[in-house]
Structure 1
Amino acid sequence: MKDQEVKVLTNVKFTWTINNFSKVTLEKLYSDTFFTGPYSWQIGICPELSRKPKPGRLLSINLYAGDNVNLSVERISGNFKLSLVNQLETNSAIIKESENIQLNQGDNNVACACSLFVRYFNISSHGSLTGFIVNGTCIIVAEVSINDLGLLDHNHPSSLMDFKGLCKIHEEYVEVLEESCSKYPSLVESHRNRKRSERFNEYSFSTLGKLLHFLKTKKVKDRTSDDGCKELQDLWDEVETRFDDLSWLEPHVKSALTCFEKASKVEKLKSNVADLEEKSKTLKAQAIALDADLEKTKKELAMAEEGFDLDDQLGSGIP
């Protein structure tokens, strides 16, 4: 029976290592983006660690559903797990699990799939729980298992359009797909010849559509270059496994990836320049202070030496 069909299950495990954890001064801190199929995720924390830990203060660790609102699904079925790793005792992690999430919730239409709260005082150097912050390093692990990896919500057909009789595609991707498939008809022909399921075709063309949409609409400045590079690479890796000949698209993807890499290098160099400029200012200020101390000490020396000769005999003038 159809209700007894086994659903697709996709798993991913993402580890986020935060160095100098106790020195974090940002109000919120986010990990790199990671993916399960078409769904993107980020871990976010609200550390408030710039102040001395107080017994009642909570450290909030959240698993966010990235930009999945663009996928036009209202609910993601799966299992979500967050772990605060104990680096000294493997079996002593602090764990929170949840099932299923409803999209279009929370700030900026971003859903939270799982939240873990821990009293920061307890895991800090002031508390009783050891192993969670070691040499200033904190490790958080997110595990995501998604059931029935579909991209679309078929309960809302108004956002879906038939694509070449192969599947239903979100209207946002149809135009870019039509343009590419008219130039490269083998994209459609190869999937017709394979006679794969509508679900397979839906995932293939939706992922390709998202990749094409990304290339046509995104700019490096729209997001951090590292995040953009990771998202584009993940989309490309997925699309490559589903289409026979993408030689026409590969140069554009490689060019975009190179652009992201250059942008990342520029961002890091700018950061290094800013750091060096700050250090230079500090050293110059220290040099000015040292020069002032030197001049002051020279004057004090001149005054101390006035009318005084180290070569004078101590008993000079004794009859």
Structure 2
Amino acid sequence: MENQKKIVESFDTFKWTIKDLSKLNTNKIYSQDFSLGGHSWRILVYPKGNNVDYLSIYLDAGNLPVGHSRFTKFKLVLINQVNDKMTKIKETHHMFNAKHNDWGFTSFIPLAAFYDRSKGFIVNDTCIIEAKISGNPKLEKKVYIPVSVKVPSKPIEHDDNPLSLDISAVSIDELVDFRGLGKIEKTFVPLLHEVCAKHPSVIECQRKRSRRFREWAFTALGRVLHFLKTKKVSDMNEEACDHLQILWEELETFRFDLTSWLEPHVQFALGMKNYMERSAKVKSAMENVAALEMEMKKLKAMVDAVEVDIEMARRELVKVEEGFEERDLDGELGYGL
């Protein structure tokens, strides 16, 4: 049995104090640049929400060179200045690159709760937000490679991770052996067993690589499989599509043969954003037609009712006209001469 040491992960912290919050007249604001983990960052906040009724908070990597990436695990924190137990903390990870240079939480906390002075997130018109960047020495070692660069076909015998996949951040209790190839997150293992049973080449193409490399490769594959297994068509908004695209680009560097069986599913999922947008337009148009048809029925009913009234009015006219002789109303009455 292998010796396993529990990895204690540390985070470096930057604190941003936003004063005069009620006087801000902008949709989004950036913090000053700060350096953590050897890289420059900013915090991006939408104080009125990023098209939602929630405070939106993101970590921004600035202008990364085209073709370079930076995998980072981080936390975003909204400090409760009255009760620290009510402080909101959200954690995630992201592969930052020139195209996807910010990542975080569109729905961090409802705006109603954030601006409620009794909740403690705003005191004296001031709020405090923290960014915590993973400071684990194993995670700080990052290698930047162009997206177009392919992973070499010969085995890699060193421990440098070409994509800095954050496997070491996973608790030991959440890792299980996958067919003797390495320790993989247990959530991914059933999915990997399923696809490897149908496509043995998935395993064969990785057997000659180092154990560390295999763990990175099958973790990347597991992430894509887990995404496709847990997402529904209705979930595929722009943010979800961007996330899947990043996961797919990471996976492609490990030289799996996925063209015939997995890539079509990924491309189908990525196409769901356009489908959802088109579906929303079709639904809106159908609702508009239905509303107009309902209005037309109401108008037709009103016309039918008016036609009945007209017919009754005509009959009444015929009745009262009988024996009636029209006179010249402008003629003199006279007095018989």
Higher-helix-fraction structure? 1
TM-score scaled by length of structure 1: 0.45
Q: Which has the larger radius of gyration?
A: 2
TM-score scaled by length of structure 2: 0.44
